[in-house]
Amino acid sequence: MRLKPAQWASHLHGPLASVYGLFSDEPLLLQEAEDALIAAAAQRGFTQKQRLGQQDGSVWDALRDERDAGSLFAEQRLLLLRLDSPKVPKEGSAALQYWLASPPPDALLILSGPRPDASTQKTIWFKAVETDGHTLLLYRPEGQDWPRWVEQRLRNAGMQADSAAVQLLTELSAGNLSACHQAIQRLRQVYPGQKIDVTALRAVLADSSHFTIYDLADTVLRGETEQTLRILDRLRGGDGEPALCLWVLHKDLRLLAELRAGGVDADAFFRQNRIFPPRQGWLRSAARRLTRPELQADIEDCLAIDARIKGQDPTPVWPALTDLCLRMCR
């Protein structure tokens, strides 16, 4: 059967099925759901863990072999199969159906990967997983659900935050779950069990060595190449978080794109977005320096860097951040 996200925590306290399908386009949500299931399984004696990767061409043969190898193992097994794509090939569908036809009593299979579309959810293998086990589809919070998600994550971390701090964290993270999670973890380290206000939030987000993420954003807007490289080097050598650096850069890129859109009353725009001097001047200067196609390309590049931060792309993050800053500096 298909479980709702709100049912997940309580479900893990009861009997576990022999197979689970966990799916989400948000790596953070997917990893947390998987970790919770692994922990619940470990409490029930599934101590032997084995990961199978879809990039391995023999993975489907290995899955068949694992089904038939139950009697060879003294310990209960936990098999984790991460799907690179929900579009499972024919041999994969056949292997999954073979497994589900007679699941080993000493094994628990966890499938995880990107959220499948409507057509994939109608395939034989997906329906078989829902019939013989459980599926969980996790969606990123949107609209008004996003600030509520942020506030709930703060409470889960044992903290409370006033409305202004929640709004600031909501705006800064701009829907980036991984970056928001990292910020909350840092808040918990610095202010465990305490109520968070805007001052505390800014202090923690800025505390990445002598220079801050705000210094980086301002220097990039001013087009100061050498200082930008110096700040990046300090952040990288200290405890600077790439996700937090990307926050402030992406936020400024979106502001610049709106300024360059045409027909915008800059003064009204700055009032609406609560931007005060001297940042108004720096934004005006950067908007004159950068063309609309360049800004659009940089915004798209932020998505690629975000994928690296989330672990979807193994390419190093800091060189990509440096290239982005230099392009913004021109």
pLDDT, residue 175, reads 66
pLDDT-derived band at 262 (thresholds 50, 70, 90) equals confident
Section 240-255 average pLDDT: 90
Q: What is the dihedral of CA 165, 171, 177, 178, to 10 degrees?
A: -80
pLDDT at position 54: 55
For residue 113, CA distances in Å to 20, 60, 86, 138, 175 come to 11, 16, 7, 11, 20
Largest CA distance in the chain: 74
Write out the H or E segment, with its range, that includes residue 259. Answer: helix 242-259
Which domains are present in the chain?
2-138 (3.40.50.300), 140-207 (1.10.8.60), 209-330 (1.20.272.10)
- Mean pLDDT in residue range 231-250: 85
* Average pLDDT of the chain to the nearest whole number: 86
Is the confidence at residue 293, as pLDDT, over 90?
A: yes
Predicted model pTM: 0.63
% of the chain surpassing 70 pLDDT: 94
| Statement: residue 208 has pLDDT above 60 | no
**What mean pLDDT do residues 181-199 have?**
86
* Closest among 216, 227, 220 to 285, alpha carbons compared: 220
Closest by CA to 79, choosing from 102, 126, 47, 55, is: 47
Element (H, E) at 8: helix 8-11
Q: Quick check: 264 pLDDT over 90?
A: no
- Check whether 210 has a pLDDT greater than 90: no
**CA separation for the pair 130, 248 (Å, rounded):** 42
